[in-house]
Structure formats: C-alpha cells, structure tokens
Amino acid sequence: MENRKQRIENLKTERTPAEEVILRRRSVRLYKKEQVPDFMIKRILEAGRFAPSAGNGQPWKFVVLREPEIIDGITETTIKICKLFKSLIDYRIPGKRWRLPIAKFNIALKPAELHPVPFGACTLIADRKLGLFHGAPTVIMIFKDVRGISNPDVDCGIAGQNMALTAHSMGLGTCWISFAKLAFQYTGKWKKMLGIRYPYKFVTSLSVGWPVGNPDGMIARPTHEVDWYENGTKKVVH
C-alpha cells in the first residue's frame, strides 16, 4: 500500500517511460539510407504480435519490405494512380473549374478517400512533391484477415501502434503510410507479387528507419472535450 501511495505521489510530477514515448513520437518523413538491423525489426514485429485483439483472433499478416525495387515499385504504382485521380478529378487546375460539381459528387460518394486532406496529399504524390514511404529503408505492411471477428481494422491499428511505439522507443523513426493502399486497391500487381490473397486485405503500412535529425518531441495538440460522469453529475474535462 505504501508503494502505491509513493507511486501516485511520483506520478504527479513524472511521466512513465511509456508516456514519454507516446507523447514524443512524431511522424518521420526523412530517413538515413542506413538499414535497420534485422533483430530490431523482429523485436518490433514481436511488439505487434503481442497486441490485444478481439477474441485473441490476431487477424493480421505483417509483410516486411527491405527490397528497394519492391518499395520503389509500389511507390511508382501509387504515383500512377494518384496522377490518374488528379487528371480525372482535380478541379483546382486553371481551366478545369467545371469539374467542381463532379468532384463534389465523387467526394459525396467517397468522403473519407476524397476528403480535401488526402486529396491534397494525392496531388503532391502525383507531382512527386511528397514521397510515398519518405525514403525509409524498411516498410512493414499490415494486412487484415477480413474474417476477423468484431473489427479487424481496429486490431490491426493496435498492432501497428505497438510496433510504431516500440520503434520510437529504440530511437527509430516511423510514419504510418496508408496511401500505399491505392497500389493494392486499384491494381492486382503487388498483391500477386507479394502473394496476398483472400482472406487478407491491405490496411496500412509503417515506414521504419533511422531519422535524419531529431524529429521526435512534444507538440501542442488540440484538447478535446471529454464528458466525465461521476457521483450523479456530468462534468466536461480536457
């Protein structure tokens, strides 16, 4: 009991190592060429494997890419698809404003994919102004088992966050890369190359490597209101 009291006292002024990693992790978009040792990637995968999942179903498949030809190939396929999207629906190009109602219609059909933020990034990728994997020497792809009970996307997200945080705790950098989905959703080429077939489906990926500089660190985040029910009342906390 004394121990717990002391721990609570300490927590008033100190963060735990886990909190430090969570708060300081930043997306890394510039990597050194130097490859990450195998054993570190295996430890990262192990952290993913230990993630909780509904019914302990572990509805995931991880694929590690360290072949520059494959990483570049997926990048080129994604750029082609981004270019196609841009040519078909970018209403911001001078002389193409007539596309605006068509774009609005498409956005209404696929609000998540064509939200202005990913749409803007899609244009940058098409123009090669934003790299897909940001030059990382290792990419971990996460595929879900679509038969997973409850919500396999959530399980894959938890596994991915375990991996990202473990990588940062080792001094590595990561960035979630969901844009690679385009190469798996709109072509069969990379699914075939990597032997991905039913029941697996691309969810997201993580670029992993040694960061250039020191990008990790705390930044201001918007505070969201949280409703807190206790002792018969509701209060709002931040």
Ligand X SMILES: Cc1cc2nc3c(=O)[nH]c(=O)nc-3n(C[C@H](O)[C@H](O)[C@H](O)COP(=O)(O)O)c2cc1C
Residues that bind ligand X (CB under 6 A): 26-27, 29, 175-179, 204
- Dmax of the chain from CA atoms? 73
Q: Report in angstroms how near the CB of residue 219 gets to ligand X at its nearest.
A: 7
Looking at the Cβ atoms of 70 and 165, the one nearer to ligand X is: 165
Looking at the Cβ atoms of 179 and 190, the one nearer to ligand X is: 179
Give me 172's structure tokens: 């590595």
**Residue in the structure block whose two tokens are 């040519």:** 87
Q: What are the C-alpha distances in Å from 80 to residues 75, 83, 90, 100, 126?
A: 9, 5, 15, 22, 7
Q: Report in angstroms how near the CB of residue 8 gets to ligand X at its nearest.
A: 29
Looking at the Cβ atoms of 6 and 151, the one nearer to ligand X is: 151
CB 28 within 8 A of CB 134: yes
Q: Report in angstroms how near the CB of residue 134 gets to ligand X at its nearest.
A: 7
Looking at the Cβ atoms of 148 and 160, the one nearer to ligand X is: 160
User: Phi and psi for 57 in degrees, rounded to 5?
Assistant: -70, -20
Q: Report in angstroms how near the CB of residue 72 gets to ligand X at its nearest.
A: 16
If you compute the radius of gyration of the chain from its CA atoms, what whole number of angstroms results?
Answer: 21
Q: Report in angstroms how near the CB of residue 169 gets to ligand X at its nearest.
A: 15
**HEC secondary structure over 105-141:** HHHHHCCCCCCHHHHHHHHHHHCCCCCCCCCCCEEEE
Looking at the Cβ atoms of 77 and 204, the one nearer to ligand X is: 204
Looking at the Cβ atoms of 26 and 61, the one nearer to ligand X is: 26
Q: Report in angstroms how near the CB of residue 26 gets to ligand X at its nearest.
A: 4
The DSSP secondary-structure symbol of 223 reads: P
The DSSP secondary-structure symbol of 1 reads: -
Q: Report in angstroms how near the CB of residue 205 gets to ligand X at its nearest.
A: 8
Give me 50's structure tokens: 């230990």
Looking at the Cβ atoms of 58 and 205, the one nearer to ligand X is: 205
CA dihedral sign, ordered 101, 110, 127, 221? positive
